[in-house]
A and B are shown apart, each in its own frame.
Chain A
Amino acid sequence: MKKELRVDPTACSGHGLCAELLPELITLDEWGYPIVAREPVPRSLDRHVRRAVTDCPTLALRLLPAS
């Protein structure tokens, strides 16, 4: 099943870790909050994506079924 990354914006406090760990899919806006590419996560990034999800200090990053 295709998955996509989503940020729970109510949990995110803009640590910005995810953009360092996964620059391929995540950039930060001018206030330091992540902008996540709304596209299915490519297989090649699987490991990095999982790392970004588990390492988010506020657990705001979610891997959800692609919409």
Chain B
Amino acid sequence: MTYGTTVPYSASSPGPRGSQRVSPGPAGTGPAGTGPAGGDLPRLLPVHGAVPVDLHTHVSRYAAPPYFGHPGQLIPVLKAAGLTGRGGAAFPVYRKLQAVAEARTRPVVIGNGAEGEPASDKDKSLLWISPHLVLDGLQLAAEAVGSQAVALYVHRNARLQERLRAAVAERAAAGIDRAPVEIIDAPPRFLAGEESALASRISGQPAMPRFKPPRVFERGVVGRPTLVHNVETLAHMALIARYGPAWFRAVGTPGEPGSMLCTLHPADGRRDVVETALGTPLRELLRLDGTQAVLSGGYHGAWVPAADAARMTLSNEDLQPAGAFVGAGVLVALPATRCGIAETARVARYLALESAGQCGPCFNGLPRIAAALDEVASPRPDPRAVTDMIRWAGLVEGRGACHHPDGTTRFVRSALHVFREEIRNHSAGRCVDPAREPFLPLPADTALAAADWS
């Protein structure tokens, strides 16, 4: 079950996805635990189109955030709901809360809306359309861990940040928030939302990852235990606090309950944000005819042949055996007329340049891998390029302060496997798409942002 919406302020803003829009049931509000029917979608996005929700509409649809009055009480509810992080790692949400709540020092709570992934729009869309759900979740998370230091870390977009500041001011005036919320600018880098990079940025340093341990929930912003949750995770939290775990589990699978926001890139080149239940068949999300492969999990994710993807659902249970994962819900259908190697090479080059340059294996390995993939994308490539690439991939995996090297090699390795036929074509001097018009989205101003880490 999916619900589509347009992508706000996106250059490639598509029309509404009429074909995938389901008519949602009456979205009444009620006391916690009852609420609207659990099977109804959308939950996070407004019922009618992509009109941004103001505080009045928000409160009349969902009521004010249900504060528990005590720290810690939300945690068992989230555990029962089985909510996992929607930023990509799919880590059980309650565990981070528990760890931070047990810390001796007063913690910091950050909503992570950096969304550095160029193919993902869902956090920006959610913040644009339903900011108050995210801000509710932020307040409830802060209450759960006993924090008064709260901030929202948001992708560098002046209109979005301005709107969020207005929303925060509106809530403060209405007396809804218990803790003041600061809006903090995230630099436009792929790694800006990595937890330790986020903590470093908010502490006044460049947004670069650091070595763990200590984990961010142990020592994060200015050395204090820091709870970082993706903004979509916070929005789900806000609803679970109102309607309870059973409501949350009414959609999704037993192992991976609930709904999630996805950024869909169907083969026709459009770009949509939809809310869908976990366990939805991929072929319902992306029409797969004319598609050769599906990229799942974004640029740290993996390619899956279209024929396999057609049998899979949106779940880690299905995707992980194929080396992919749900991640932050980026799904791209690569048309059969495009060169998967050239596309992957273009993105690998971008990922290499997004290395923070801190870890030797990363800043030495990723550019070499990208250059070798560029070679494989060219006619009659040097046959050593693939073996070099595989050796370098082995040399960078697990050797960075963050997962950037691991995610990049996962993406590249999957391309070498899924597009092996195309590699053979290139060896013979042929390519499926000599025009090489870029398909996978990348930021336009990569070169401009090269030194911009703060």
Contact = CB atoms under 8 A, between A and B. Distances in A.
A12 B359 CA distance: 7
A8 B399 contact: no
A8 B210 CA distance: 8
A37 interface: no
B234 to A, nearest CB: 29
B401 A31 contact: no
Contacts, number: 41
A29 B395 contact: yes
* 3 A-B pairs closest in CB distance: A9-B359, A33-B360, A8-B211
B10 interface: no
Interface in B201-240: 208-211, 213
B140 interface: no
A43 to B, nearest CB: 23
Size bracket, chain A contacts: 10 to 19
Contacts of A38: 398
Interface of B: 208-211, 213, 358-362, 364-365, 395, 398-401
A32 interface: yes
A66 interface: no
B361 A10 contact: no
A20 B364 CA distance: 22
Grouping DSSP codes into helix (H, G, I), strand (E, B) and loop, the B interface class, with mixed when no group exceeds half, is loop
Interface in A1-54: 7-14, 29-33, 35, 38
Contacts of B364: 31, 33
Contacts of B209: 10
A56 to B, nearest CB: 14
B71 to A, nearest CB: 29
A10 B356 CA distance: 10
Nearest to A38: B398
A14 B401 contact: no
A55 B210 CA distance: 22
A29 B400 CA distance: 14
Nearest to A10: B358
Contacts of A10: 208-211, 358-359, 401
Nearest to B399: A9
B401 A8 contact: yes
A32 B359 CA distance: 12
Contacts of B210: 10
Given A9-B400, A10-B210, A29 B361 contact: yes
B211 A9 contact: yes
B360 A30 contact: no
A62 to B, nearest CB: 8
Contacts of A35: 395, 399
A35 B397 CA distance: 11
